[in-house]
């Protein structure tokens, strides 16, 4: 689930100063690991979407349709997106953040809470992208891809959590294993600026969200 903190504006200001030092998000002692990570990513390919047509998208707001189109998401790989104010709140309690959406399987649907629309076009785009990436991680990547990504994401997390946005993952501190890995995958893909991502990881995300300029990134 996504938790966008109300401190996002101050964090973006902080991140602007950090980016001048961070560059492309690599530090010297981790360069070899990132090169390996980029090599692994270049060899990974998502599983093809189901061959049958996916019908009955339930976009209950024209803004959702516009947002999906803006992000350039391939509709053949997109699950249903439903507006539901309460369902996500039944999944977990997150007192440190605001729950704006969730991905639930089965039945592999994305649910968006009305509060996401209050954050404007960028906030809605980030919410949809985050939940869509949960779906990608679960359904469109094979076991090997997930395993290799998890290794690289955890390595990058150590740098990112220390140097870019130390408080972003506070709400996930009790999660472990694949639950934590999928949150790393969704957050890095929907909330982190291109310049703060390793090149291989950026190219990986662009396969699924080509137009990242619509996201609220830092």
98-117 pLDDT, tens digit each: 789 999 988 889 999 988 99
38: tokens are 């980029």
Lowest mean pLDDT segment, chosen from 75-79, 89-93, 176-180, 194-198: 89-93
Please compute the mean of the pLDDT values over residues 78-95 and round it to a whole number: 73
Give the strands of the sheet with 109-112, arranged side by side: 81-83, 109-112, 101-104
Quick check: 80 and 58 in contact, CB under 8 A? yes
- Going by the DSSP 8-state scheme, the letter that residue 91 receives in this structure is T
């Amino acid at each position: 689930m996504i938790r966008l903190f109300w401190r996002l504006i101050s964090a973006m200001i902080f991140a602007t100063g950090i980016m001048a030092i961070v560059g492309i998000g690599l530090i010297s002692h981790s360069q070899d690991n990132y090169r390996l990570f980029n090599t692994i990513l270049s060899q990974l390919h998502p599983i093809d979407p189901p061959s049958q047509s996916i019908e009955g998208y339930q976009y209950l707001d024209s803004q959702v349709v516009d947002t999906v189109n803006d992000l350039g998401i391939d509709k053949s790989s997109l699950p249903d997106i439903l507006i539901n104010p309460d369902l996500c709140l039944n999944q977990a309690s997150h007192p440190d953040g605001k729950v704006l959406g969730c991905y639930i399987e089965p039945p592999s649907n994305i649910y968006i809470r009305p509060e996401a629309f209050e954050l404007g076009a960028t906030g809605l785009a980030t919410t949809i992208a985050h939940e869509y990436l949960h779906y990608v991680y679960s359904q469109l990547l094979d076991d090997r891809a997930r395993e290799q990504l998890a290794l690289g994401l955890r390595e990058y997390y150590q740098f990112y959590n220390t140097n870019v946005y130390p408080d972003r993952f506070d709400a996930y501190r009790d999660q472990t294993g694949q639950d934590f890995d999928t949150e790393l995958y969704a957050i890095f893909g929907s909330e982190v600026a291109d310049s703060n991502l390793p090149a291989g990881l950026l190219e990986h995300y662009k396969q699924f969200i080509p137009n990242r300029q619509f996201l609220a990134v830092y």
